[in-house]
Amino acid sequence: MKYIKTLNKNKLTDNISSKGCGECQTSCQSACKTSCTVGNQKCEK
Amino acid sequence: MVHVFNVKDLYFAVDTHSGLVHVLDKIVYDLLTDEIFKEENKYRNLYDTYGETSIKEALTEIQYLIDNNMLYTQDMDHESKIQPVIKAMCLNMTHDCNLRCRYCFASQGTYKGEKAYLSFETGKKAFNYLVKNSGKRRNLEVDFFGGEPLMNFETIKKLVDYGRSLEKEYNKHFRFTITTNGLLLDEEKTDYINENMDNVVLSLDGRKEINDKMRKTVKGTGSYDLIIDKYKKFISKRGKKDYFIRGTFTSNNPDFSEDVKHLREAGFDKISLEPVVAKPEEAYALKEEHVDVLKKEYEKLAEYYIESNKDKNKSFQFFHFNIELDGGPCIYKRSVGCGAGTEYVAVTPSGDFYPCHQFVGEEEFIIGNVDEGITNHLIVEKLKNVSVYDKPACRACWAKYFCSGGCHANAYNFNKDFSIPYGVGCELEKKRVELSIYIKAMMSQ
């Protein structure tokens, strides 16, 4: 691509059937306690 | 859904439903803005600026992304596969505090009630409930919270031992965290916490004059000088384990990037500084009228962050600028929200369960207790049905998979409705996500 560079390699919709284990951290337990941010968490799989 | 934006001379498109983030040349940004690429009579106007050949090349690239589900990816309701079970607890170890912070959501620790301390027996019952009701989830999280949890330190130690004793039998792993104001930190507690807690949240607001305006001792004096050296010692012994210096900014310090700088220069390299959430009538509240100034301040902070992170010795993490574009949570997690009341409960010294710490003291939100488990299914059902697909404002928002719909307590406190998110919080969150993406792009150059 000449005009567009994509930052990520994976789509949220990739391999969707293997997702959803629920082992990830509860978002409010991290450092905030007053907001909800999941975009900065990691997948535990 | 596509969100196009720029920060300085970098241009971006976020394709909401695939989660892809594209860095654009200005020509593509101009074509995507207001979707003028869809109408020849509109994009022809750009021929003078870019030339017909370049416009046609750019259109071909846009079409390639669309054809490959990388742009304008279709919206889908991802019916959650996650069967929620309680896997995380916020243990209010005390309803008492040794500070009197003016903005405290917990009424200076007592949550509008009497002073109280969580007993070992109540904590044991809470842990028993957790291991027996967390289904197949192996990782369980317990945050020792308050009030000030270090005022009940001996019980914390007993509970950590008790939690560890349950792990093998139930095939679970406890992750312990603690949120403290640091006043009671001494060598023994420092060593214990560093050994046993996976994460530590240390409260401090930044510059001394800013911190001391809100974070007062019982006598009404500032707390900064009593705490800063304890934190420095604590961090020097923390090694590589997680921690955050966690502050709050208010309308007193819209120049909060100076507080982040102050904390960094004091030697802390994991920093979270969050906007206060307060009723509009409070003098220190952040309101709609502050949003533009705060957005500009986040921009300033982003530049400081990028500059600092060029140098290993000055680099640091800012919690809200961390973003996982590839290794982040799946779409199911991103759609269901924070898990309050469905995956997460707060436990009070009397053993009551609330959906989260923010609801404690509002008795209509008691959803159960350590003896009977969840009893108020009406509230839990309501909380199960506030995914990003259930909230009109979130459904239409490009950032929904970054915040997962925001804080339920804030939604309720401001709008008396779980399904209407807290607007000021949304505006700031969107700005932080844009800047996190900008930072990612700048740092990958």
Residue-wise pLDDT for B396-406, tens only, equals: 999 999 999 99
Q: Does B126 have pLDDT greater than 90?
A: yes
CA angle B366, B404, B285 (to 5 degrees): 70
Tell me: ipTM over 0.85. Answer: yes
CB contacts < 8 A, A to B, total: 200
What average pLDDT does the segment B283-293 reach?
A: 97
Q: How far apart are CA B199 and CA B197, in angstroms?
A: 5
pLDDT band, residue B75 (cuts 50/70/90):
confident
Strand partners, B7: B10
Contact between chains at B61 and A36 (C-beta distance less than 8 A) = no
CB contact at 8 A, B216 and B223: yes
Give the residue numbers in A contacting B (CB under 8 Å), as ranges.
1-13, 16, 19-44
Contact between chains at B344 and A31 (C-beta distance less than 8 A) = no
Given this model, what pLDDT does residue B121 score?
98
Give yes or no for B143 touching A (CB within 8 A).
Answer: yes
CA distance B209 to chain A (A): 23
CB contact at 8 A, B340 and A28: yes
Give all strands of the β-sheet with B20-24 in edge-to-edge order: A4-6, B20-24, B10-15, B2-7
pLDDT tens per residue, range B248-265: 999 999 999 999 999 999
Give B406's contacts in chain A (Cβ within 8 Å). 35-36
Partner A, chain B 207-226, Cβ-Cβ below 8 Å: none
Contact between chains at A40 and B324 (C-beta distance less than 8 A) = yes
What average pLDDT does the segment B201-205 reach?
A: 97
Can you tell me whether residue B90 is helix, strand or coil? strand
Considering only CB atoms, A5 lies closest to which of B23, B338, B358, namely B23
What average pLDDT does the segment B53-78 reach?
A: 94
CB contact at 8 A, B253 and B206: yes
Given this model, what pLDDT does residue B77 score?
72
Q: Does B228 have pLDDT greater than 90?
A: yes
What average pLDDT does the segment B233-244 reach?
A: 96
Give the nearest chain B residue to A39 (CA atoms). Answer: B402
pLDDT band, residue B80 (cuts 50/70/90):
low
CA distances from B294 to B216, B249, B402, B440, B441 (A): 25, 10, 20, 21, 22
Given this model, what pLDDT does residue A15 score?
84
Higher-confidence residue: B153 or A21?
A: B153
Contacts (Cβ under 8 Å, ≥6 apart) of B84: A22, B336, B339, B342, B343, B384
Lowest pLDDT segment from A35-44, B101-110, B124-133, B271-280: A35-44
Give B53's contacts in chain A (Cβ within 8 Å). none
Q: Does B128 have pLDDT greater than 80?
A: yes
Give A34's contacts in chain B (Cβ within 8 Å). 105, 248, 274, 277, 358, 407, 410
Cα first-last separation, chain B: 27
What average pLDDT does the segment B336-359 reach?
A: 94
Of all helices (H) and strands (E), which one includes residue B12? Answer: strand B10-15
pLDDT tens per residue, range A16-45: 888 888 888 887 767 777 777 788 888 887
Percent of chain B residues topping a pLDDT of 90: 93
Q: How far apart are CA B143 and CA B330, in angstroms?
A: 24
